[in-house]
Amino acid sequence: MRQYFDEEWAEPAPAASPLRRTWYLSHHEVYQGSGDERKCRVVFDAAAIYDGTTLNSQLEAGRNLQIDLLRAILRFHRLCVGLQADIEKMYLQIRVREEDRDACRFLWWDDEWRIRRYRLTRVCFGLTCSPFFTMGKVRSHARRH
């Protein structure tokens, strides 16, 4: 979680306003790899049910912007040039608008073990809308550059 604060992917949350959509995400860690290659990442659960609903059920998913694999292969054969990229922490490269950040709140403790409220400033993995936002941004950058 420290990386979320250091990279400014999360910020302290202001007092909740009754006029804003507010949601608290549950979260847990997931470990991948082993030995020196073992990494920990935070998983936010937007599918967790609270009061009969989930954050994901309240979000618009958007349409699927990922390219069809057959279409990509045919395009590769036609143009003879292929490009592949692995965008590190792709979702975390996309900012959440200021007015929408309260929908992505979470609880964490500070250095003195007091529970504090925080909110995400970036799109996180697990939100229904995350693929739409990120692929839209990738397409926008590809067209521009």
- Which residue ranges make up each domain of the chain? 2-144
- Share of the chain residues as helix, strand and coil, in percent rounded to the nearest 5: 35, 25, 45
> By the 8 A CB rule, do 117 and 105 touch?
yes
Residue 48: half-sphere exposure toward Cβ, Cα within 13 Å: 13
pTM exceeds 0.85, yes or no = no
> By the 8 A CB rule, do 128 and 56 touch?
yes
Label residues 47-70 b or e (16+ Cβ within 10 Å = b).
eeeeeeebbbeebeeeeeeeeeee
> By the 8 A CB rule, do 100 and 80 touch?
no
Mean pLDDT per 10-residue segment, the chain (145 residues): 94 85 92 88 91 89 81 77 72 90 93 94 89 84 81
User: So what's the pLDDT on residue 19?
Assistant: 72
User: So what's the pLDDT on residue 89?
Assistant: 82
User: So what's the pLDDT on residue 67?
Assistant: 76
The amino acid occupying position 70 is L
CA-to-CA dists, residue 133 to 35, 125, 136, angstroms? 34, 11, 5
Residue 54, both tokens: 């989930």
Strands 105-109 and 115-120: antiparallel
